[in-house]
Amino acid sequence: MLKGALCFLTTLLIASSLNAQIRIIDAQGEHLFEKPPTKVVALNWAMAEQLIELDAPLLAVSDVAGYQEWVVQPALPEGIQDLGARAEPNLEKMARLQPDLIIVSGITKEQVARLKNIAPVLNFNTFNSDHNNPQVAIDTFRQLALLFNKSQLAEQKLSAMQQRFTELRSALTTAYQGKLPKVSTVRFANTASVYIYGDNSMSQYALKQLGIKPALDIATTQWGLVQKRVLELSKIQTGSVLYFEPFNEYPQLQASRLWQAMPIVRNNKVAAVPATWTYGGAMSLKYLAEAMATSLLTLAPNATEQNPVKNASNEAVQ
Amino acid sequence: MILRYSVTSIAILLFSTFYLLYDNTLSSALQWQLISGKTPELFTEFIFLFATLPRLAMALMVGAVLGLVGSLLQQITRNPLLSPLTLGTSAGAWLALIIISIAVPSLAPDLKAIVVMIGSMLAMGLVLLIAGFRELAGLRVILAGMAVNILLGAITSAIIILRDQYAKNLFIWGAGDLAQNDWQWMIWLAPKLIIAVVILAIAPRVLQLLRLGQSGARSLGLATTPVLIVLFAAALWLMSATITAVGIISFIGLIAPNIARLLGANNARDQLYYSTLLGALLLLLADFVARIASNLTIDIIPSGTATAIIGAPMLIYLAMRGSRAEDQMQISQNTVLRSQLTLSKWLGIIGIAVFALIVAMFLNNDGVSWRWNIPSDFEIATRTPRILIALAAGICMAVAGTVLQRLINNPLASPDLLGVSAGATAAIVISSLLTGQSLFVLNPLIALTGSAVMLAILVLLTRAKQFSGGTVLLLGISLTAMVEALVQFVLAKGSQDVYNMLSWLAGSTYNTELTQSLWLFAASILIMVLSLISARSLTLLNLSTDIAAARGLKVSLTTNLLLALVALSCALVTASLGPIAFIGLLAPHMAQLMGARKVKSQLLLSAALGGVILILADWLGRNILFPSQVAAGTLAAALGGGYFVILLLKAKVSRHSFY
């Protein structure tokens, strides 16, 4: 029985490879490609990031300056073309570049129809409240790899990422002597309000891979975060908080007595994470995990003496 | 009077106590110990001492200042519906904050506060400069404030769209938030408000004299101009300081003085003092509501959102029963127009329209240089719907503006200024928030409902009290402010698709489909024809309703139909490409300046002008920052605001005021 099924599957695979067609499924359904596209534009940073990681032939992306400032990793290839703001990528410039594929996410059917006049369009689901955002990012990564005939590279990168998770996890476990803390990640809006990342966020997924549970329960939302008062963080008694930079008002926040009185601050359980994009693709999970693990190591019990971050916050408390 | 003051004070004390006890396990005895110097130990004690208590103090202080400034400005301008925010302060502060946050993100908060304050003061200074210090009591200052608000607002939204990641965190400030973590902001703000004491001491006598009119006061030996400048400067300082500390909190400064009058505050001193007290009570209540609402939902409800939601119905209620006697502003149509509408002018307009079409299609910036070229098939296919919808939207807004201006006999009535477009915007934003649908796929019916509701409110108000145009205008501005507060709240939620919403709010032709543009074009022609058919009724209604009735016109039916036409135009435009500001005001006015005196010629000419302006704005927006694009609505508002400022300045020089 099993053998029969396997046999059937193999035949199917051979049949499809004989057709030499690549089957890709996006939000709109199934798309067939004869060969991997060679001139691709991405209208969204997460998609651009996925393509760069796959060494795909990326020609142009929306808001190059914004990408370099907010996404940072992986770096955009030299000479990439700028298509203007993300909300309104320039169609005329796009058409002049004569791409053979446009990759987007979360746009309306009408917008897809218009882009199809320029080139075939793949519209992926990325951030949505009714699915698991990080898992979808990984699935999309595999789909794109299939399209560009880079499946091997993709699997290699994914397993390297798993490998990295394991390394980071064991480094953290050693540093925390086997007792990993609960951690929540946040982005400050100002000194009084904060966006807290929850279950459906890339950062919380990356932490989960490191064996870390969230310190706060946050409802599942489309982008994986909710806006709360900074006071909300006082509910964390034993866990830690990582905040993403840039946050220029941090000195002011540190100087406020309410902040100083919070359990996380009194116990020195707050650390900064250098600017990392929290709405990215599969590989952004790795960058997130690395950046967050580095920050968490500075909070580890045995890192007290050598840790400048911690000393700084100690001074602020006094 | 003593009763009124003591009841209000007791209410403040009572609600302050509730405010402190809410969401807090500490007994009032323990709270009292903490206030009198007990060192806090438990975290709840810290919350009480460094979050709840400073927030309460901030609400009372800021509320009092808003009440004071509101009453002061309303008494100076003798305009009961003037809000301090109408005078450009918030627009200036907002623009300054956006620019400084993007240009120098790492700037220390103290320096940032100074820049924001300067921005706010510059904007209001500009308003005063345009208005002229001698005419602070008139409508001029409000017009100037409105023009500066729109101009600065357009620049701000253009910057925000281009740098949305940075701007995202600033929306909470824009929505007005009183939350505190310590006494830092109190310590920053309190000394800056000392000047309020001086106002409370010297202003009442000056204001009492001013009631005789500026010339009357002058004859009694009051050097009005310098005194007014000093009072205005003080008010400006207070507003700028509070805006910098807590962001934009609307309605308190508008409502407090009105309630004070309603409850019997007659003389200048009474109004000023009682409004100050009421301001404190009102903001305390609104912030209490915001705190409770934030606890009940998963998101933060900023204080400014609560004041807007509570404030708007109160404002409408107040306006309904407000007395006409205090409404001093009258606007009359300008009759000193010398220019004639000749055939050559018509030909000139047609020539310009053709030229605009050619430019929009053939001249473009490819990132290296601006050049004329023959567009490819694809370029024709992308540009055509955008040009067509710009033309159609221009026609719709211009016709709506002309009809509305003639109908309520007010050359300043613009559908977007009266909150009709804002109604459509609010309906779309709210339903998108509730259903999670993209703004681009929402039903035009929703927009229509929103603008019809707004229009109905305005019509009811105008009918009930036969308000002067100025009052209607201010009411419209206030309703628009409420919508803006709601939009700020939605934007502050921090999702990544904020930038889509921003580009929609800017009024962009980017997402236009050909069929959609054809539909709107057909609708615009229909609206044009309907308005031309009703030209005679409009002329009659414009003269007077009595004459119209005498000539056998069904006045109320015709008026309602024409108003429905206005609402329809605004709703269609807003639903197809987002809110388009200023064309409805600008085009009819320009047409009149060019000599279109009859209704028919004004309708035709303003439609042509509206279409041309929007086509050119769209073309410029597509090319000026290539490959990025600036929305047509944003550019039209910037151009219109600029034009309006120049117009006001020119009118000031030549004394041929146009209102």
What's the gap in Å between the CA of B154 and the closest CA on chain A?
Answer: 17
Whether pLDDT at B339 is above 70: no
Total number of domains in chain A: 2
Say if B2-326 and B343-652 have the same CATH topology. Answer: yes
Q: How far is CA B133 from CA B20, B33, B229, in A?
A: 44, 51, 7
Instruction: Please give the single-letter amino acid code of residue A113.
Output: A
Whether pLDDT at A297 is above 70: yes
Q: Which residues of B touch A246 (CB under 8 A)?
A: 105-106
A32 and chain B: CB distance < 8 Å anywhere? Answer: no
Q: Which of B366, B495, B626 sits opposite A222 (nearest CB)?
A: B495
Q: Which residues of A touch B495 (CB under 8 A)?
A: 221-223, 225
A152 and chain B: CB distance < 8 Å anywhere? Answer: no
- B159-207, pLDDT tens digit by residue? 887 777 777 777 777 778 888 888 988 999 999 999 898 888 888 888 8
Whether pLDDT at B228 is above 90: no
Which residues, numbered 105 to 124 in chain B, qualify as contacts with chain A under a Cβ-Cβ cut-off of 8 Å? Answer: 105-107, 109
Question: What is the 8-class DSSP label of residue B142?
Answer: H
Q: How far is CA B586 from CA B21, B581, B583, B595, B632, in A?
A: 53, 9, 5, 14, 15
- B586-627, pLDDT tens digit by residue? 898 888 888 888 889 999 999 999 999 999 999 999 998 888
Low-confidence winner among A15-29, A92-106, A116-130, B291-305 (lowest mean pLDDT): A15-29
**What pLDDT sits at residue B496?**
60
A194 and chain B: CB distance < 8 Å anywhere? Answer: no
- Residues B424, B447: contact at Cβ < 8 Å? yes
**What pLDDT sits at residue B323?**
45
Does residue A297 form part of some domain? Answer: yes
A168 and A305: one domain?
yes
Q: How confident is the model at residue B247 (pLDDT cuts 50, 70, 90)?
A: confident
Question: Can you tell me the distance from the alpha carbon of B207 to that of B183, in angstroms, rounded to the nearest whole number?
Answer: 35
Distance of CA B516 to the CA centre of its chain: 29
**What pLDDT sits at residue B150?**
79
Question: What is the 8-class DSSP label of residue B373?
Answer: -
**What pLDDT sits at residue A168?**
95
Mean pLDDT of B400-408: 86
Fold of B343-652: ABC transporter involved in vitamin B12 uptake, BtuC (1.10.3470)
A28 and A112: one domain?
yes
A121 and A45: one domain?
yes
According to CATH, what is the number of the domain B2-326?
A: 1.10.3470.10
- Residues B496, B363: contact at Cβ < 8 Å? no
Which CATH number covers residue A94?
3.40.50.1980
Does the beta-carbon distance from A261 to B625 stay under 8 Å? no
Q: Is the dihedral of CA B578, B579, B583, B584 positive or negative?
A: positive
Does the beta-carbon distance from B440 to A263 stay under 8 Å? no
Interface predicted TM-score (ipTM) of this complex, two decimals: 0.80
Task: Give me the torsion for CA of B44, B46, B51, B56, rounded to 10°.
Answer: 90
A164 and A303: one domain?
yes
Residues B389-418 as b/e (b if ≥16 CB within 10 A, e otherwise) read bbbbbbbbbbbbbbbbbbbbbbbbbbbbbb
- What is the maximum alpha-carbon separation in chain B? 84
Task: Locate the chain B residue with the closest alpha carbon to A105.
Answer: B497
- Residues B548, B555: contact at Cβ < 8 Å? yes
The continuous run of DSSP H or E covering B200 comes out as: helix B195-210
Does the beta-carbon distance from B626 to A110 stay under 8 Å? no
**What pLDDT sits at residue B218?**
64
DSSP structure string for B481-521: HHHHHHHHHHHTT--TTHHHHHHHHT---TT--HHHHHHHH
A23 and chain B: CB distance < 8 Å anywhere? Answer: no
Q: Which of A66, A93, A257 sits opposite B50 (nearest CB)?
A: A257
Does residue A41 form part of some domain? Answer: yes
Does residue A10 form part of some domain? Answer: no
Q: Which residues of B touch A228 (CB under 8 A)?
A: 300
Tokens at B453, concatenated: 């509701």
B173 and chain A: CB distance < 8 Å anywhere? Answer: yes
Residues B364-376 as b/e (b if ≥16 CB within 10 A, e otherwise) read beeeeeeeeeeee
Low-confidence winner among A188-197, B61-70, B129-138, B590-599 (lowest mean pLDDT): B129-138
Does residue A212 form part of some domain? Answer: yes
Whether pLDDT at B82 is above 70: yes
Does the beta-carbon distance from B378 to A92 stay under 8 Å? yes
Low-confidence winner among A277-291, B328-342, B574-588 (lowest mean pLDDT): B328-342
Does the beta-carbon distance from A192 to B181 stay under 8 Å? yes
Does the beta-carbon distance from A231 to B47 stay under 8 Å? yes
The continuous run of DSSP H or E covering A24 comes out as: strand A22-26
B52 vs B496, which has greater pLDDT?
Answer: B52
Q: How confident is the model at residue B219 (pLDDT cuts 50, 70, 90)?
A: low
Q: Which residues of A touch B287 (CB under 8 A)?
A: none
- B431-462, pLDDT tens digit by residue? 877 776 666 565 667 888 888 888 787 777 66
Mean pLDDT of B299-324: 75
B288 and chain A: CB distance < 8 Å anywhere? Answer: no
Q: How confident is the model at residue B495 (pLDDT cuts 50, 70, 90)?
A: low
Q: Which residues of B touch A189 (CB under 8 A)?
A: 168-169, 172, 492, 494
A158 and A121: one domain?
no
Question: Can you tell me the distance from the alpha carbon of A236 to that of B376, in angstroms, rounded to the nearest whole number?
Answer: 60
Residue at a domain's end among A108, A125, A142: A125
Supply the mean pLDDT for chain B: 82
Mean pLDDT of A242-270: 90
Q: Which residues of B touch A252 (CB under 8 A)?
A: 109, 184
Whether pLDDT at A314 is above 60: no
Supply the mean pLDDT for chain A: 85
Q: Which of A244, A284, A280, A289 is nearest to A127 (CA)?
A: A280
Whether pLDDT at A238 is above 50: yes
Q: Which residues of B touch A82 (CB under 8 A)?
A: 627
Mean pLDDT of B522-527: 95
What's the gap in Å between the CA of B592 and the closest CA on chain A?
Answer: 36
**What pLDDT sits at residue B469?**
55
Whether pLDDT at B338 is above 60: no
Residue with tokens 């240089």: B369
Does the beta-carbon distance from B440 to A111 stay under 8 Å? yes
Q: Which residues of A touch B43 (CB under 8 A)?
A: 234, 261-263
A43 vs B296, which has greater pLDDT?
Answer: A43
Task: Locate the chain A residue with the closest alpha carbon to B440.
Answer: A108
A132 and chain B: CB distance < 8 Å anywhere? Answer: no
A166 and A242: one domain?
yes
> Percentage of chain B with pLDDT > 70?
86
Instruction: Give the best-scoring range by mean pLDDT among A195-204, B302-311, B322-331.
Output: A195-204
A246 and chain B: CB distance < 8 Å anywhere? Answer: yes
Which residues, numbered 410 to 439 in chain B, qualify as contacts with chain A under a Cβ-Cβ cut-off of 8 Å? Answer: 436, 438
A187 and A275: one domain?
yes
Alpha helices in B534-598 (DSSP H): 535-543, 545-550, 555-577, 583-593
A107 and A247: one domain?
no
Distance of CA A164 to the CA centre of its chain: 16
Does residue A47 form part of some domain? Answer: yes
What's the gap in Å between the CA of A190 and the closest CA on chain B?
Answer: 7
Length of chain B as a residue count: 659
- A125-174, pLDDT tens digit by residue? 877 777 888 999 999 999 999 999 999 999 999 999 999 999 999 999 99
**What pLDDT sits at residue A193?**
87
Q: Which of A93, A229, A249 sits opposite B179 (nearest CB)?
A: A229
A250 and A166: one domain?
yes
Question: Best interface-test mutation with B: which of A61, A227, A230, A284 has the largest number of B CBs within 10 A?
Answer: A227
Whether pLDDT at B330 is above 50: no
Which residues, numbered 154 to 183 in chain A, qualify as contacts with chain B under a Cβ-Cβ cut-off of 8 Å? Answer: none
- Residues B153, B637: contact at Cβ < 8 Å? yes
A190 and chain B: CB distance < 8 Å anywhere? Answer: yes
Instruction: Please give the single-letter amino acid code of residue A1.
Output: M
Q: How confident is the model at residue B87 (pLDDT cuts 50, 70, 90)?
A: confident
For chain B, domain boundaries: 2-326, 343-652
Does the beta-carbon distance from A192 to B500 stay under 8 Å? no
Does residue A132 form part of some domain? Answer: no
**What pLDDT sits at residue B237?**
86
> Percentage of chain B with pLDDT > 90?
23
Cβ-Cβ pairs closer than 8 A, A with B, add up to 154
A303 and A185: one domain?
yes
Does the beta-carbon distance from B184 to A252 stay under 8 Å? yes
**What pLDDT sits at residue A315?**
37
Does residue A1 form part of some domain? Answer: no
Low-confidence winner among A86-95, B169-178, B576-585 (lowest mean pLDDT): B169-178
Q: Which of A89, A91, A258 sits opposite B47 (nearest CB)?
A: A258
**What pLDDT sits at residue A306?**
44
What's the gap in Å between the CA of A85 and the closest CA on chain B?
Answer: 5
Q: Which domain holds residue A205?
A: 154-317
Mean pLDDT of B365-383: 87
A139 vs B494, which has greater pLDDT?
Answer: A139
A168 and A311: one domain?
yes
Mean pLDDT of B629-639: 87
Does residue A4 form part of some domain? Answer: no
Which residues, numbered 266 to 285 in chain A, qualify as contacts with chain B under a Cβ-Cβ cut-off of 8 Å? Answer: 279
Question: Can you tell me the distance from the alpha carbon of B475 to that of B417, in angstroms, rounded to the nearest whole number?
Answer: 9
